[in-house]
């Protein structure tokens, strides 16, 4: 990535699985990094060696977050409504 854009050192923002890519790069090439932001780093060992359970745990977390958001929307006086003409 760094070489593709002609940078001497990597500037990287990693989301989701991009956090694993960024963490791997930093560990392999620590002297080639300028700045790295990792949004919610993952457990690399679990992500690569226990993929099914890792995905099931992540899905449970998404379900919890969605349920909380829907409860908040339901209790709010302001609801998202479609303004499209029927």
Q: What is the pLDDT of residue 26?
A: 93
pLDDT confidence bin for 78, thresholds 50/70/90: low
* Helix locations, 1-86, DSSP H: 2-5, 18-28, 44-49, 51-75
Q: What is the pLDDT of residue 45?
A: 86
Domain regions of the chain by residue span:
1-42, 44-74
Q: 14 versus 43: which is more confidently predicted?
A: 14
Q: Tell me the per-residue pLDDT of 16-73, one tens digit each, with 9 for 90 and over.
A: 888 889 999 999 999 999 999 998 877 888 888 998 998 888 888 889 999 998 888 8
Backbone angles phi, psi at 34, to 5 degrees: -90, -55
pTM: 0.57
Give the separation between CA 65 and CA 20, rounded to whole angstroms: 22
């Amino acid at each position: 990535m760094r070489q593709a854009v002609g940078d001497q050192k990597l500037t990287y923002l990693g989301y989701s699985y991009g956090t694993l890519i960024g963490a791997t790069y930093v560990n392999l090439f620590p002297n080639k990094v300028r700045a790295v932001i990792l949004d919610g780093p993952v457990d690399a060992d679990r992500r690569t060696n226990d993929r099914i359970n890792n995905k099931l745990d992540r899905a449970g977390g998404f379900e919890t977050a969605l349920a909380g958001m829907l409860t908040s929307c339901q209790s709010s006086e302001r609801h998202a409504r479609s303004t499209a003409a029927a």
